[in-house]
Amino acid sequence: MTPVKVGLLGLGTVGGGTAAVLNRNGKEIARRAGRAIQVEVAATLEPNRAKELGLDIGITDDAFSIVNDPEIDIVVELIGGYTLSKELVLQAIENGKHVVTANKALIALHGNEIFTKAQEKGVMVAFEAAVAGGIPIIKSLREGLSANQIEWIAGIINGTGNFILTEMRDKGRAFDDVLAEAQALGYAEADPTFDVEGIDAAHKLSILSAMAFGIPLQFEKTYTEGITKITPQDVEYADELGYAIKHLGITRRTEAGIEQRVHPTMIPKTCLLANVNGVMNAVLVHGDAVGPTLYYGAGAGDEPTASAVVADIVDVVRAMTSDPSNRVPHLAFQPDQLADIPVVDIKEITTAYYLRLCALDQPGVLASITKIMGNSDISIEAFIQKEPQNNAKNVDIILLTQRVKEGNMDNAIEQIEALDVTCSKVTRIRVESLK
C-alpha cells in the first residue's frame, strides 16, 4: 500500500519535532496506522532548516503550494496565528485534504466554521495538540469518557503561568522577577500577554467546554483573568489558610447554563492540582459515572507536542477510508446534536472567595466590614488580621468567605473600598474545593 503523504506548514519547534518523531519511529507508527506515513514537504522561511534537522524532505516558502498539491493527503498546520492559518486550513479542506493542527487560537476562534466546512467535504480536522501539548485530553473527552455526563473540568493548561506561581510559592519571589526568568528560559514570549493574562488558557478552555457539554465553541464568552496582580503576600496567606494558588481554567454544568472561566484560584493543598508544579499541565475531569480522572504531562515542547500531532496523523490515516458519517465527531457530539445552552455570565457564578485589603489599625474596622458582608448575604469562613509592621498605622486583613454569588461579592467589595478606613483596593481570589 502506498505511503500516506504529509505536508507540514511550519518547521519550527513543533514542526521539527513532528518530522523527527515520524522519522525515528516510522516503522512502529506504520504498524499502528496500517500504512507508512512520510513527510513529503515542509513550508518554512528558513531554507536550511531541513538540513539542520537532518531531514531529507522537500522545502518551500509557499505554504499554499502544499495545500494545493494533489499528492499531499494530510496537511499539518503548525504556523500558529488565526489569519493566514485559517486561509490555509480552509483551502486544504476545500481541496479535500485532511488537516491536523496544534493551533488552539485557530480552533477556539474559527473552529465552528472549519468543522462545518470539513463535514461538507467529508474530511477530518484533528487538534489533540491544541490543548495541553502531549496530554491526550481531547481523545479522552471525545472517546474514553463518552459514556459520561461531564459535570466539570478544572485544568492547569498554561505552563508559563504555572511556572511563575510555583516559583512565587516555593521561593517567595515577585511576579516580575519570575516572569523575566521565564522569558530567559524560553517558557514565556517576549510579549507574555497571552500567557499571563489567561488568553492562551481561555482558547484551550473554550475547546474543552465545547467537547464536554456538546455546545458550539464560544471563546468570546469565556471570562478571562490573569495572574499579574498576584503578590508573594497572597501566596503566603493562602498557604497559611491551607491553600495553593493556581491559574485554572474551569468549566462546569449548572442549572443556569455552562460556566466557562479562567482566573487565579485558591484550591486546598491536598488537591491533586495543587501539587502540579513548574511548567507541567494537568486537567481534572469529573464525570457522573467514572468520577474524577486526572490527565497530567508536558503541555508544550517539541516532542511532547509532536507526540500529539503524530497521534492525530495516525488517527486520520486509520479513518481515511471510513464512511465520514461513522467517524468520531470533531467536538465529541454529532454536529446536529450540539445544544444551545447559554454560557453563564461571571456575575452569576457561585464560589467562595479570598479577600485581602489594607485598613487603618483602629477599633471598629472589622465591624464595618462584617456588617457590609452580612448585608450582602456573605458568610465569613476564616479571618486573619496581621500585626502592624514597623509601627505602621495600617494592617492587612484577610477574609475567607463561604460560597456566594459573584454579583453579591462585587457589591460588597465596592462598599468596602468606599470606607474611610480602607487604604487599598480589595484583592479578590476565587476559592474552589474541586470536589
pLDDT tens digit sequence for 316-364: 999 998 899 889 999 999 999 999 999 999 999 999 999 999 999 888 8
Q: Which of 337, 364, 386 is the last residue of a domain?
A: 337
**pTM (2 decimals)?**
0.96
Tell me the pLDDT band of 388, cut-offs 50, 70 and 90: confident
Tell me the pLDDT band of 390, cut-offs 50, 70 and 90: low
Which position among 86, 204, 221, 246 bears the catalytic label? 204
Residue 204 designated active-site: yes
Domain of 113: which CATH number?
Answer: 3.40.50.720
pLDDT, tens digit, 9 for 90 and up, residues 19-35: 999 999 999 999 999 99
Let me know whether 63 and 187 are in one domain: no
- Provide the mean pLDDT of the chain: 95
Let me know whether 286 and 331 are in one domain: no
Decide if 342 is inside a domain.
no
Let me know whether 222 and 306 are in one domain: no
Question: 392 pLDDT exceeds 80?
Answer: no
Closest among 402, 414, 395 to 356, alpha carbons compared: 395
- 385: CB partners within 8 A, 6+ apart: 366, 395, 396, 397, 398
392 is in which domain, residue-wise? 348-431
Tell me the pLDDT band of 391, cut-offs 50, 70 and 90: low
- Supply the DSSP string of 3-50, one letter for each residue: PEEEEEE--SHHHHHHHHHHHHTHHHHHHHHSS-EEEEEEE-S-TTHH
User: What pLDDT sits at residue 387?
Assistant: 76
User: What pLDDT sits at residue 325?
Assistant: 86
pLDDT, tens digit, 9 for 90 and up, residues 200-243: 999 999 999 999 999 999 999 999 999 999 999 999 999 999 99
User: What pLDDT sits at residue 212?
Assistant: 98
